[in-house]
Structure 1
């Protein structure tokens, strides 16, 4: 093979590589415009004082100090964690139970139940707001107060009380996302080979033992995935409290979340510097919670292996 043919082959390889990069370049160009650049600009803006119109003023870490010494920020973080726990922890457990029920072989109308359970996830937030504003109205005849009255409890001012607001929003989060987790768990259950259960039955294992030693361990990657998504989603909670409280969402602190605090700083107070600093702090908090989840999951796996 002569030098000319070798150079020709190298040039063709370069052309193929260049054409490959050109095919995938639209994704990276769009990501750089709508993802990477805003993220980098937000980091830069966190150290500036800017109202969105005038000149920027470098203030160093002053924006972070303002946020960390603001009681409303810590209140919003507290609200975010409480609503997140109340709204996401039950949906993990209930999602697994519903997935088991939908995976029963003799269950009829499976497709109907699957679509029904998944429907809240694709429902418009406007419709969700209307439904829950009626269900959790402050009026005594509202459905939530009526059901509580049947058990002898007094009516609750859901949209104005501290815990009433948190519980109503948590139920909204649970109602909207439990079907999403159920479908993921159902896919995980259907990926488990029946040969494991047949072998366990031959060895004399009962249904509870099969659940503890076959189903749950093989379903663990799906559980870890949903817990991770639920944790990140809970810390970014914005739509549900906003649509439930309406116009008063940003003037009351009983349901103010971190993202709502960020939004208020940016678009109500025109303080884009502190809003960007809040976004960075939220990113750090999400990273910490995600690392905790990975740590406990990895530790549990190591203990199981030993």
Structure 2
């Protein structure tokens, strides 16, 4: 009897602890490679920490004040948001459109689906080098094509907005296919009965897309927007390799926040304290934008629930 009781207790303990043991590797890994570096960066940001000299005196928020007072910080922040907006908005729209085409009855579906993902697996450095040549100010292919239709060459490396458009094109080239497959998976999960009912009601393909597909993709769209926001605010590879110097242009026309962070820590200043302060400021910006997206998601979800309930009650 005592043996059976002990076995039952062990079984109950196993049922209670097993879920926590299964998910514990994630939290352990996150604590080692995520939480600890985050907290250590906060510790560095409040010290006068030099790349060569190491840890110095405690300075409190001085590094934050110094960074916020620098002109390059404002320029880097503006460049980051500009490139982010020029890349994320067209990227989401194009991904939805391409996913809708791939969801149709196309021949060789696997070929086209693998084709849209191919740019994502190409190394960012290779993409940046290729596009930097395509958008060269004098001998680039883009300006050569523009010259054939009578348009003067555009300074894709000298003009601020033009450089942002070129870098945004790189980002869209790499990430549109990845987001397309996410939208495609969500589209294939939409019940086909809804489309059949729309066809019976006489809805065209365009009306089916706007009245059935897009509303059912709402959660996926929000997810892609959030991930694109986080990735867009941390962009580094594309602007870093856009020219041979990797400084963000002669006047820092396309220097982003992460490039500014790199310049503070490993450039002329070699101040890890200020670089860590920039990292935490960027982290705070991402948290704020993420919270806004989260609240927006909650509002949309709570606004849809009563309508679903009412529809169910009528049925």
Q: Same fold (TM over 0.5)?
A: yes
Change (3 A) 1:19 1:250: same
> 1:12-161 counterparts in 2 under 5 A?
27-52=26-51, 53-105=53-105, 107-140=106-139, 142-161=140-159
1:244 pairs with 2:242: yes
Cα distance in 2 for residues equivalent to 1:301 and 1:206 = 28
Task: Tell me the equivalent position of 1:280.
Answer: 280
Cα distance in 1 for residues equivalent to 2:87 and 2:169 = 6
Cα distance in 2 for residues equivalent to 1:104 and 1:22 = 43
Cα distance in 2 for residues equivalent to 1:113 and 1:7 = 59
Contact 1:250 1:264 in 2 (8 A): no
TM superposition shift of 1:277: 1.1
1:184 pairs with 2:182: yes
Cα distance in 2 for residues equivalent to 1:283 and 1:12 = 44
TM-score after normalising by structure 1: 0.89
Change (3 A) 1:248 1:126: closer
Task: Tell me the equivalent position of 1:209.
Answer: 207
1:172 alignment partner, one of 167, 170, 173: 170
1:33-89, Cα deviation, whole Å (9 max, x unpaired): 322221111111111111143342111111111111111111101000001111111
TM superposition shift of 1:27: 4.7
Contact 2:96 2:183 in 1 (8 A): yes
Cα distance in 2 for residues equivalent to 1:227 and 1:238 = 19
1:195 pairs with 2:185: no
Change (3 A) 1:267 1:11: same
Q: Secondary structure at the match of 1:160?
A: coil
TM-score after normalising by structure 2: 0.86
Task: Tell me the equivalent position of 2:310.
Answer: none
TM superposition shift of 1:166: 1.2
Q: Secondary structure at the match of 1:244?
A: coil
Q: List alignment gaps of at least 5 residues for structure 2.
A: 308-315
Cα distance in 2 for residues equivalent to 1:137 and 1:301 = 46
TM superposition shift of 1:208: 3.3
Change (3 A) 1:216 1:14: closer
TM superposition shift of 1:135: 0.8
Cα distance in 2 for residues equivalent to 1:156 and 1:219 = 38
Cα distance in 2 for residues equivalent to 1:296 and 1:20 = 31
Alignment length, in residue pairs? 303
Q: List alignment gaps of at least 5 residues for structure 1.
A: none
TM superposition shift of 1:24: 6.1
Change (3 A) 1:5 1:101: closer
Task: Tell me the equivalent position of 1:289.
Answer: 289
Cα distance in 2 for residues equivalent to 1:303 and 1:8 = 49
Contact 2:42 2:276 in 1 (8 A): yes
After superposition, the CA RMSD in angstroms is 2.5
Change (3 A) 1:209 1:18: closer
Change (3 A) 1:217 1:136: same
